[in-house]
Copies of this chain bind each other. A is one copy, B any other.
């Protein structure tokens, strides 16, 4: 019996602390939450919770604050993901509806998440390495250069300019480009990135001797673009939320902002999701390997067109965060974005 109530107390502590950002004492607890017991009883429970390492008293005579482990228990066992209100769902749909292209989708998503949760929002661009080639377009520039436009099934576009090694008339150029366009799209369109690169290399050998140089430069640029990791990008919004987040938080804001500028690190973090792709992942405080983010929590989830998740998004804030709301928002937004990416409009 006591076990149950102890967890109730833990939940109450978390809720109060999240709301007030001040250590919560036994008296305040029994007043605000109508647990059917007295302050003294709560104190006993608190002592036990402290022994278990779930809460912690900043000083001898202050209230209690949840530890990272305490939040972990709260998230895993004590909180239901609060469903969003009808209005909120509509707002999400409406806000994302107007996006015109992938950049716009990502941009709107990250701003939406930030304003919804009042935390820092993080959205990873749909990663190319898990994507397929939709189409490759070649555009002559002058007589000796060529712009390559790579269109990805997620709607993303990459471009490169290459020197063909030839110097042709307009007519010759058009013809050559047309041959290459056909050959390249024949083997690469619809093919996953990993396979596309090797397939493309094969066609260089099959090309007419005269076209060889052009094929080579185009294919090698494409291969570059396909394997390159640079496309792993994240977008942030809502950094201002860090400043008003908490009491002592503004002081530790520097390291956090610095950590957020290390996009490579962020990407690695976002990549480490739980097993179930359809579940919201929560990483709390010290569970987090990144220096500078150890006083923050990351609530994230994969998203993507179709059933496969191609990237992640989430929010980051102080460990003292409203987890149920954050989780609900992240999940809802991830789902909507996935839907939108499925739609033809922006893919």
Q: Give the B-binding residues of A (Cβ under 8 A).
A: 100-101, 104, 134-135, 137, 139, 141-142, 145, 147, 149, 151, 155, 157-161, 225, 228, 230, 237-240, 242-244, 250-251, 253-254, 257-258, 260-261, 344-347
Q: Within 8 Å CB of A253, what residues of B?
A: 243, 250, 253
**Chain B positions within 8 Å of A149 at CB level:** 137, 149, 151, 157
Given A137-B139, A240-B254, A251-B250: A101 and B160 interface contact (C-beta under 8 Å): yes
Please name all residues of chain B whose beta carbon is closer than 8 Å to the beta carbon of A159 when the two chains form the complex. Answer: 101, 151, 155, 157
Q: Would you give the shortest CB distance from A174 to chain B, in whole angstroms?
A: 11
Partner of A242, one of B157, B161, B251, B257: B257
Question: Is there an interface contact between A158 and B101, defined as CB atoms closer than 8 Å?
Answer: yes
Bound together, the chains give a CA A261 to CA B261 distance in angstroms of 16
The residue of chain B having its C-beta at the shortest distance from the C-beta of A107 within the complex is: B233
* A/B interface sample: 28 pairs, CB < 8 A: A100-B160, A100-B225, A100-B228, A101-B158, A101-B159, A104-B230, A135-B139, A137-B139, A137-B149, A139-B151, A141-B344, A149-B149, A149-B157, A151-B159, A161-B344, A161-B346, A161-B347, A237-B261, A238-B261, A239-B239, A239-B261, A240-B254, A240-B258, A243-B253, A243-B254, A243-B258, A250-B251, A250-B253
* A230 x B139 contact (CB < 8 A): no
In the complex, what residue of chain B is closest to A238 when comparing beta carbons?
Answer: B261
CA distance A139 to B261 in the complex (A): 37
- Copies in the assembly, this chain: 2
Q: A139-B135, A155-B159, A160-B101 are in contact. Are A244 and B238 (CB under 8 A)?
A: no
Cα–Cα distance between A330 and B239 once the two chains are bound (Å): 24
Whole-angstrom CA separation of A1 from B345 in the bound complex: 72
For the complex, what is the distance from the CA of A135 to the CA of B141, rounded to whole Å? Answer: 9
- Nearest B residue to A225, CB-CB: B100
A142 neighbours in B (Cβ, 8 Å): 344
Chain B residues near A347: list those with CB within 8 A.
161
Residues in chain B near residue A134, CB distance under 8 A: 139, 141
Chain B, residue nearest A242 (CB): B257
Given contacts A137-B139, A159-B155, are A100 and B230 in contact (CB under 8 A)?
yes
A135 to chain B: which residues have CB within 8 Å?
Answer: 139, 147
> How far is B249's CA from A250's CA once the two chains are assembled, in angstroms?
11
Knowing that A155-B159, A238-B261, A240-B257 are A-B contacts, what are 15 other residue pairs whose CB atoms are under 8 Å apart, sorted by A's residue number?
Answer: A100-B228, A104-B230, A134-B141, A137-B137, A137-B139, A137-B149, A142-B344, A149-B151, A161-B345, A161-B347, A239-B239, A239-B261, A243-B253, A250-B250, A250-B251
A11 to B162 CA separation, bound complex (whole angstroms): 51
3 tightest Cβ-Cβ pairs between the two chains A and B: A243-B254, A240-B257, A240-B258
A149 to chain B: closest residue by CB: B149
Q: For A151, list chain B residues within 8 Å (CB).
A: 139, 147, 149, 159
Q: How far is the CA of A210 from the CA of B251 in the complex (A)?
A: 67
